[in-house]
Amino acid sequence: DTAVSQTPKYLVTQMGNDKSIKCEQNLGHDTMYWYKQDSKKFLKIMFSYNNKELIINETVPNRFSPKSPDKAHLNLHINSLELGDSAVYFCASSDDRRVTEAFFGQGTRLTVV
Amino acid sequence: KQEVTQIPAALSVPEGENLVLNCSFTDSAIYNLQWFRQDPGKGLTSLLLIQSSQREQTSGRLNASLDKSSGRSTLYIAASQPGDSATYLCAVSNTGNQFYFGTGTSLTVIP
């Protein structure tokens, strides 16, 4: 079983569209994250949720809205997509009751054309 | 704000060599440090996690050390193999709820 799974793996869309990326973890973790990896491979946190509550919201355009329907899911919705949104988006989770080792999904490569 | 730097940015070694990857961070008040591996077009695979109270962790041919006071960690890879070729990332957590990533070291092991 995949611990952290994201869908879709690839997403190609036109500017101005609205899209969502889904993330699910089956590890029973309390905290989930969204990271963005740019063209230089640098990973930067976007959002962090703990028990369905937003705890970190880095400087991210408000076109990006995370939604956590339950502790095991953290979806990322993006409105009015721009060319600069093209990147790889990673979902991750960790258990802050213990060692806080982070587990990452396989990533979603978003290409805006 | 925590800043994480990895040196070198790229490394190419012949198969069988031992090698060291370096990671430095600016804020020593960390919760833990984690080393990841990323293959091209793939996600991140956790290699080793070192808690702030620990000095090192070992897994197979990998050994990671942590010197919190000097803001440094090293990842030692023994007897490198072509399959070790990947980008290695270190990440530190200050609060347990966020990970700050380094810029990565791209490793190529030549057969």
Look at residue A101 and tell me whether its pLDDT is greater than 60: yes
Cβ distance B101 to A104 less than 8 Å, yes or no, reads: no
Cβ distance B91 to A48 less than 8 Å, yes or no, reads: no
Note the pLDDT tens digit of each residue in A14-52.
Answer: 999 999 999 999 999 988 999 999 888 889 999 888 877
Cβ distance A42 to B31 less than 8 Å, yes or no, reads: no
Residue with tokens 């990322």: A76
Chain A neighbors of B34, CB-CB under 8 A: 101-102
Query: What is the spatial distance between Cα B6 and Cα A60, in angstroms, rounded to a whole number?
Result: 25
Chain A neighbors of B87, CB-CB under 8 A: 41
Looking at residue A50, what is its pLDDT? 84
* Phi and psi, residue A90, nearest 5°: -115, 135
Contact B15, B85 (CB under 8 A): no
Cβ distance A48 to B97 less than 8 Å, yes or no, reads: yes
**β-strands A108-112, A10-13 pairing:** parallel
Note the pLDDT tens digit of each residue in B47-62.
Answer: 999 988 999 999 999 9
Q: Give mean pLDDT, residues B17-32.
A: 94
Among chain A residues, the shortest Cα distance to B99 is held by: A45
Number of Cβ within a 10 Å radius of residue A99: 15
